[in-house]
Structure 1
């Protein structure tokens, strides 16, 4: 064997740097546009409590008066009279703020969902808003799926996963080598000019925001449409999410008076016996896959609730065989609210109304403090509480995700939390902009400008293991990593001199 050349370690270090830079470049090429979208939409959504009353003041805001509110049943009846015939009430928002209007969500006969707002003191209808087309909902759907449905959801999930590569390679490229001063690597060099200044600014911003970016990705991925859904299901199955047995041995169903709970619908009576509330039938819940024998039943994520705690999203909603008794009368809305109040929930929650004669009322309390999260399932006839899920019932994973969600959304410690999220989000958008400027200044004419491909040195074994591990944990990302590697290899082979 020949003795190692003194230049060989330097060449290996140079090759490792160029390899990391190449992966950082490819990750940035894909991630940066979506990073800007996530930053802008996430910042807006973080301030939803402040923005929405400014956008829709005549619908959402009322002047509190020294008088009792109308009953919820009266308000629901007035809301029902203001929507097209055949519309079905799905959700009631039970407000805690005396300056906010009462809100009920209806599904119109054409399938569109609208919120109806009323003055809770006078019963005057203040107006309606499309649930899916209101500004903050559109912003949320851009943030989650680019308004492209499932394909957009997968793209945003991929962008989040590739951000992990971007963070890891970015920190490695920044890591000081040789003689350095901490001020020089932690603070932009404003004395430099041209591309060097932008590189210094990009690196300094990146290192200061790396931890925040990592926190955003880790706390956001559990809500993603593909990986997040399977992760939630797995956590629930192994009792690290919301354990399947949190409700004990109680049969989760609304028992219809006059009907044996083990029997089917009375003879000659099917789903036509659907219950009505305030003159509007509840009908089957939207999104329910009726007639699918493989579907075990609805879960909390299927309910028409604006917000559902991650820990309970995969838990099943009580259900029973279809059918009903003509004499069966659902509880009034006021009675259901009284039951929720007796269990400690007085206001500030959403109430999903029964979807069928055998459905239940579901109370979803999703406050800023995860320890106070709560779900109640209430029998629509007897008022019996069939399910009561609290933070203490969550598994370790769900408890961690709950806190991560509260921090990610800027909810946990008020305005300060919102401002920190804004600082991180806009900082990440700035990193994307500075990265683009760096590329623009160094790009060759009519070429992509990717760093040159060099043989990967043996010293990068840990990086290979790390990237492989990421690909296994996030299969969607792993597939695209293989595709990028294969495409890069093909391009490099064609460019090799003959």
Structure 2
């Protein structure tokens, strides 16, 4: 009697499990179909950009390398004078890249009146112009912009951001479909007994489990840099002080002082008062990469003086005193109230540094280092450098390449499985179960994701409505048949 009572319950449980699996598969299919082409683009461009230092050096060696010499190096100020003389009269010098290696050239970046930016490379020993290079058109910059927004502007950036968000849905449903149940034990290798498409499906599932944490890390470390959600998140973190301690934002004395005048006492004011350049934040500066934690901070100003500005070499010396010696950029002041900004986006995030220096007195107005980052700022800094393959050198680059290749293979195998089972001329989404299960935990989880990532929430709702509409049409067609 007991066995007869259990059998119907077991059958009901099996039917419920099958229905849940089919619903998961349906949403996994929709998510995968959307993100598949973008994952392929992200994987390929990610691998290329991960090796940016090597690729740049290979492509632009004549501009980057010089012969080491025992002759003294020319001053950065003298080199700037030569670079300015070599550029059009209306070009504006914006930054200088500082490299301490004796075989590296010196790069000055100029903003051109016709649009765009151009780098000029000089031999630091002779002052000779080695050549020019468009900032926007260099190969690795084009790769980065494809990775970020498909080279189609804001629309492309939104699409890539959505692809990242929907990857979270794809990963979650994939894990749930793999998760061991009574008749399906956990497997980390494809079943050798399977053949053909069944083996590929099993291999796809298993590969997804091997790469899921790496793919999740890529998505979560990339989204803070996205142009919509990432900017909102950065502003939120900056406003609440979660990225940097609140006292980092306190105003510091920024007025230039005549010789012999006593230093005034700094007043504690929010950073958006008179010490901030209206509308300008760190992310607006014309430099290669700004540390994420300081990207939304406003730029300080100096009081306009009739005194001469300090030379670039003095700024280099001030940075060296704070152990910033190579691989950083200096943003040059353009207006009487601008400051020198030193930005060091270091391979090791613990060495990141941002300095704002009075262009007249040479006083360091602000000095922000990793030790001042809050938990979120530090987590994003580490995540970013791991994402870009910068922390552990070649080992980090190879690890990122392996994860990217696995993601590429996942996308390709998913596409192949779909093509093999798809009848000609049909989308062939997995059929919706007749009695769709409630799956409340999944609904709550997707709801939370939709709140955290609003664009994902909107598109999830649209996808659900379209799915309901398709299901209703299929039901009506079946009834008429």
TM-score under structure 1 normalisation? 0.88
Decide whether the 8 Å contact of 1:237 with 1:243 is kept in 2: no
Q: In structure 1, what is the equivalent of residue 230 of structure 2?
A: 228
Task: Between 382-391 and 231-240, report the one with greater CA deviation.
Answer: 231-240
Q: In structure 2, what is the equivalent of residue 250 of structure 1?
A: 252
Q: In structure 2, what is the equivalent of residue 43 of structure 1?
A: 47
Alignment of 1:199-214 (within 5 A): 199-214=201-216
Decide whether the 8 Å contact of 2:82 with 2:127 is kept in 1: yes
Q: CA deviation at 1:148?
A: 1.3
Alignment of 1:321-470 (within 5 A): 324=304, 327-454=306-433, 457-458=436-437, 460-470=439-449
After superposition, give the CA deviation of every residue in 1:97-117 in whole Å (9 maximum; x if it has no partner): 222211000011212200001
Alignment of 1:23-62 (within 5 A): 23-62=27-66
Q: CA deviation at 1:5?
A: 5.4
Report the 3-state secondary structure (helix = DSSP H, G, I; strand = E; otherwise coil) of the residue aligned with 1:43.
helix
User: What is the rounded CA distance, in whole Å, between the counterparts of 2:44 and 2:435 in structure 1?
Assistant: 37
Q: In structure 2, what is the equivalent of residue 128 of structure 1?
A: 132
Task: Between 119-128 and 358-367, report the one with greater CA deviation.
Answer: 119-128
2:86 to 68, 82, 85: 82
After superposition, give the CA deviation of every residue in 1:328-385 in whole Å (9 maximum; x if it has no partner): 3211111221222223222221001113111000000111111111110000011111
After superposition, give the CA deviation of every residue in 1:437-485 in whole Å (9 maximum; x if it has no partner): 1001100121001000125654611111101110011000000000111
User: What is the rounded CA distance, in whole Å, between the counterparts of 1:298 and 1:334 in structure 2?
Assistant: 25
Report the 3-state secondary structure (helix = DSSP H, G, I; strand = E; otherwise coil) of the residue aligned with 1:116.
strand
Cα separation, partners in 2 of 1:254 and 1:111, compared to 1, 3 Å: farther
Decide whether the 8 Å contact of 1:253 with 1:358 is kept in 2: no
Q: CA deviation at 1:392?
A: 1.5
Alignment of 1:67-78 (within 5 A): 67-78=71-82
Report the 3-state secondary structure (helix = DSSP H, G, I; strand = E; otherwise coil) of the residue aligned with 1:187.
coil
Q: CA deviation at 1:9?
A: 1.6
User: What is the rounded CA distance, in whole Å, between the counterparts of 2:349 and 2:284 in structure 1?
Assistant: 21
Q: In structure 2, what is the equivalent of residue 144 of structure 1?
A: 148
1:66 aligns with 2:70: yes
1:161 aligns with 2:168: no
User: What is the rounded CA distance, in whole Å, between the counterparts of 1:17 and 1:376 in structure 2?
Assistant: 54
Decide whether the 8 Å contact of 2:308 with 2:360 is kept in 1: yes
Q: CA deviation at 1:42?
A: 0.7
Report the 3-state secondary structure (helix = DSSP H, G, I; strand = E; otherwise coil) of the residue aligned with 1:144.
helix
Cα separation, partners in 2 of 1:254 and 1:353, compared to 1, 3 Å: farther
Cα separation, partners in 2 of 1:150 and 1:472, compared to 1, 3 Å: same
User: What is the rounded CA distance, in whole Å, between the counterparts of 2:118 and 2:132 in structure 1?
Assistant: 6
User: What is the rounded CA distance, in whole Å, between the counterparts of 2:434 and 2:253 in structure 1?
Assistant: 63
TM-score under structure 2 normalisation? 0.91
After superposition, give the CA deviation of every residue in 1:421-448 in whole Å (9 maximum; x if it has no partner): 0000111000000001100110012100
Decide whether the 8 Å contact of 1:297 with 1:319 is kept in 2: no
Q: In structure 2, what is the equivalent of residue 219 of structure 1?
A: 221
User: What is the rounded CA distance, in whole Å, between the counterparts of 2:257 and 2:316 in structure 1?
Assistant: 20
Q: In structure 2, what is the equivalent of residue 192 of structure 1?
A: 194
Report the 3-state secondary structure (helix = DSSP H, G, I; strand = E; otherwise coil) of the residue aligned with 1:297.
strand
Q: CA deviation at 1:223?
A: 0.7
Q: In structure 1, what is the equivalent of residue 119 of structure 2?
A: 115
Q: In structure 1, what is the equivalent of residue 263 of structure 2?
A: none
- State the superposition RMSD in angstroms: 2.3
Report the 3-state secondary structure (helix = DSSP H, G, I; strand = E; otherwise coil) of the residue aligned with 1:12.
helix
Q: Extract unaligned runs of 5+ from structure 2.
A: 260-275
Q: CA deviation at 1:193?
A: 2.8
